[in-house]
C-alpha cells in the first residue's frame, strides 16, 4: 500500500455555532480493493450484490428498486434547482477496502485508522460509548460493542452483517417502515445500499451507554448510501448517536441514507445526529420510525454542513399513548440550503407529538422548515405541539416555513407557534460597548437562541454546540 498523502484544504469555520467545520476537511489516498466504477445501471447493482455475496432475494430487491428509481421523476416541490446539479452518471456507488469490519483498532488499515483517530473516535469509545461502528466510504471499517452490552443480548453490527447473521430479525422489518417507492432517493438507497447500522435490543433491556456510528466520506465523486435499522423490543431503551464528515471537494458528493426505527410496546429510542458534511455534499436522507403502544421515539437533529440537506424525520404513532418528538437545529451559511423538518402521523388514540425547530441563516444561506402533522377524524385524545423559530443574521439571509397540519374532529388538540427574528445592529452595538468583539456579540446572541435545544443533546455534543468560535465577522450584520 502506498503511504498516505494528506491533503489539507483551507476552509472557513462555521462563524456561528461552535462546531469546527474544518475538522473533517482532510483526505488520504486509499487503494480500494472493490470499486464499482462510475454510473448507475444494472451491472453496478449486480457488482455490489456479488461483492457482498448476498442471497438472491436481496439482489432481486435491489434490481426492483433500481427500476423504481429510474421510473420516478426528480421531486419538483422541493429544492429543484439544487437537485438538478446532481449528475448520477458521474457518481461512484461502491468503494471499499474489504467486507469484514475489524474488531480492534490495531487491525484497521493505517490510512483509515489515521482518519478516525484524527476525528477522535477511539477516544470517544474509551470515554463513554457502549459500542462504535465506523464506516469509511461504502463499508464499516471498524465495529465493536462492549462485552457487558453484548451479554445483555444486544446486537450492534453493520447492515451487511445484520442481513447475513440475523436474517430472522432483519428481514422481518427491513423496508417495512420506509418502502422502496416512498421517494426517488429511498429507491436509490434500496438499489445500492451498503453499510449503516443494525441494532436489536431485547425485551426489557435498557442500554446504559449510547451506541454510536460515524460515517466518513473520503473519496471524490462518491455516493454514500448507508441503511440503518434499529429495533427496540418491548420495554427496552437505547440511545444511538451518529456523526458525519467529508473532505471539501470542488465536485459534488452525494449522501442518501435510509433510517428505519421500530419501537415496540413500551420501548424508547433516542436517535441523535450531528451532521457536519462539507459544503459540496448533497445530503438527501429519509428517516422514519414506528412507535407502538406506550412507546416513545425522539429524534434530535443538528444540521450544520452540506450544500443541500433534505431531511424530515418522522414518527408513525401506531399504538395508543405512543409519543413522538423531533428536536431540530439547522444552520445555513453562504451557499447552503437546510431544508429540514418533521412528519408526525397519528394512527391511534391518545398519542402525542412534539416538534421544536430552530434555524439560523447566515450571509446568503437559506433555511426551510417543512413539516407535516396528520390526525384523522376518527381518533380522540391526540395532541400536537409545533414550534418553528428562525433567526436571520443578514439582510440577504432567507428563511421559509411550510407547516402542513391536518387535525380533524373535535376530540384532538394542536397548537402551532412560529417566529422570525433578526440579530439587530443595535444589539450588537450594545454588547460591543460592554467590551465584546463583534464576533463574540454575534455568538452570544445565537447561543442564546439555541440554548434550550442545545441542552437536549448529550453533554459531549452540547458542549461542542455551545463552544462559540471567536472569529472576526466583519460585514455579517446589516
Sole residue written with cell 439482489 = 59
DSSP 364: T
Q: Where are the domains of the chain?
A: 6-466
Q: Is the pTM of this model over 0.75?
A: yes
Q: Locate 334 and state its grid cell.
A: 453562504
Quote the pLDDT of residue 307.
87
Quote the pLDDT of residue 478.
42
Quote the pLDDT of residue 184.
94
Q: Give ∠ CA 397-400-402 in degrees, rounded to 5.
A: 170
CA distance 472 to 439: 5
Asked whether the beta carbons of 316 and 347 are under 8 A apart, the reply is yes
Q: 150 exposed, middle or buried (CB, 10 Å; 0-12, 13-18, 19+)? A: middle
Number of Cβ within a 10 Å radius of residue 451: 13
Q: What are the φ/ψ torsions at residue 238 (nearest 5 degrees)?
A: -155, 145
Sequence-ordered alpha helix ranges (H) in 106-257: 110-118, 121-128, 147-150, 159-165, 167-173, 184-192
CA distance 270 to 324: 10
Quote the pLDDT of residue 423.
80
Q: Locate 431 and state its grid cell.
A: 454588547
Q: Give ∠ CA 99-105-111 in degrees, rounded to 5.
A: 70
Sequence-ordered alpha helix ranges (H) in 130-203: 147-150, 159-165, 167-173, 184-192
Residues whose CB is less than 8 angstroms from the CB of residue 293 and which lie 6 or more positions away in sequence, other chains included = 265, 266, 319, 320, 321, 322, 348
Q: How does pLDDT run along the chain (478 residues), one tens digit per residue?
A: 334 433 333 333 444 444 445 444 444 455 667 788 889 999 999 999 999 899 999 999 999 999 999 999 888 765 567 788 888 999 989 888 765 555 566 666 666 666 666 655 555 544 554 566 666 676 666 656 667 788 889 998 888 889 989 999 999 999 999 999 999 999 999 999 998 889 999 999 999 888 888 777 777 778 889 999 999 999 999 999 887 666 655 567 888 999 999 999 999 999 998 877 777 888 999 999 999 999 999 999 888 878 899 999 999 999 999 999 999 988 888 888 999 999 999 999 999 999 999 998 888 889 999 999 999 999 999 999 999 999 888 778 889 989 999 998 889 999 999 888 888 778 778 888 888 877 777 777 777 777 777 777 665 554 444 443 233 233 344 4
Amino acid at each position: 500500500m502506498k503511504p498516505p498523502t494528506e491533503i489539507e484544504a483551507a476552509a472557513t469555520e462555521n462563524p456561528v455555532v461552535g462546531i469546527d467545520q474544518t475538522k473533517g476537511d482532510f483526505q488520504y489516498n486509499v487503494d480500494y480493493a472493490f470499486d464499482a466504477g462510475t454510473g448507475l445501471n444494472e451491472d453496478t447493482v449486480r457488482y455490489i450484490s456479488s461483492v457482498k455475496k448476498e442471497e438472491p432475494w436481496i439482489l432481486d430487491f435491489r434490481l426492483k428498486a433500481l427500476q423504481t428509481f429510474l421510473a420516478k421523476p426528480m421531486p419538483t416541490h422541493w429544492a429543484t434547482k439544487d437537485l438538478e446539479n446532481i449528475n448520477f452518471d458521474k457518481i461512484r456507488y461502491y468503494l471499499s477496502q474489504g467486507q469484514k469490519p475489524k474488531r480492534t483498532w490495531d487491525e484497521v488499515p493505517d490510512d483509515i485508522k489515521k482518519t478516525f483517530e484524527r476525528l477522535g473516535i477511539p477516544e470517544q469509545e474509551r470515554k463513554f460509548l457502549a459500542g462504535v461502528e465506523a464506516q469509511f466510504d461504502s463499508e464499516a471499517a471498524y465495529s465493536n460493542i462492549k462485552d457487558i452490552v453484548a451479554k445483555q443480548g444486544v446486537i450492534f453490527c453493520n447492515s451487511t452483517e445484520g442481513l447475513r447473521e440475523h436474517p430472522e430479525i432483519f428481514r422481518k422489518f427491513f423496508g417495512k417502515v420506509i418502502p422502496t417507492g416512498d421517494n426517488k432517493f429511498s429507491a436509490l438507497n434500496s438499489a445500492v445500499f451498503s453499510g449503516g447500522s443494525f441494532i436489536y435490543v431485547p425485551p426489557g433491556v435498557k442500554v446504559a451507554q449510547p451506541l454510536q456510528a460515524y460515517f466518513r466520506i473520503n473519496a471524490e465523486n462518491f455516493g454514500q448510501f448507508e441503511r440503518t435499522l434499529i429495533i427496540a423490543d418491548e420495554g427496552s431503551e437505547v440511545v444511538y448517536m451518529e456523526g458525519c464528515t467529508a473532505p471539501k471537494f470542488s465536485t459534488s458528493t452525494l449522501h442518501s441514507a435510509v433510517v428505519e426505527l421500530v419501537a415496540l410496546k413500551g420501548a424508547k429510542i433516542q436517535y441523535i445526529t450531528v451532521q457536519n458534511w462539507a459544503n459540496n455534499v448533497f445530503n438527501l436522507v429519509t428517516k422514519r420510525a414506528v412507535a407502538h403502544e406506550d412507546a416513545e421515539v425522539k429524534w434530535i437533529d443538528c444540521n450544520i454542513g452540506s450544500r443541500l440537506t433534505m431531511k424530515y424525520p418522522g414518527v408513525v404513532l401506531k399504538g395508543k399513548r405512543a409519543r413522538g418528538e423531533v428536536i431540530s437545529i439547522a444552520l445555513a451559511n453562504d451557499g447552503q440550503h437546510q431544508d429540514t423538518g418533521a412528519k408526525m402521523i397519528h394512527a391511534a388514540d391518545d398519542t402525542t407529538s412534539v416538534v421544536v425547530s430552530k434555524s439560523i441563516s447566515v450571509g446568503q444561506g437559506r433555511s426551510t422548515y417543512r413539516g407535516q402533522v396528520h390526525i384523522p377524524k376518527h381518533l380522540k385524545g391526540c395532541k400536537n405541539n409545533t414550534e418553528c423559530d428562525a433567526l436571520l443574521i443578514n439582510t440577504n439571509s432567507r428563511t421559509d416555513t411550510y407547516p402542513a397540519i391536518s387535525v380533524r374532529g373535535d376530540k384532538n388538540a394542536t397548537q402551532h407557534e412560529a417566529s422570525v427574528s433578526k440579530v439587530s445592529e443595535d444589539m450588537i452595538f450594545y454588547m460591543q460597548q460592554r467590551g465584546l468583539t463583534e464576533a463574540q456579540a454575534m455568538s452570544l446572541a445565537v447561543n442564546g437562541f439555541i440554548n434550550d435545544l442545545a441542552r437536549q443533546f448529550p453533554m459531549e455534543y452540547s458542549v461542542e454546540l455551545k463552544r462559540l468560535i471567536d472569529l472576526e465577522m466583519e460585514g455579517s450584520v446589516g
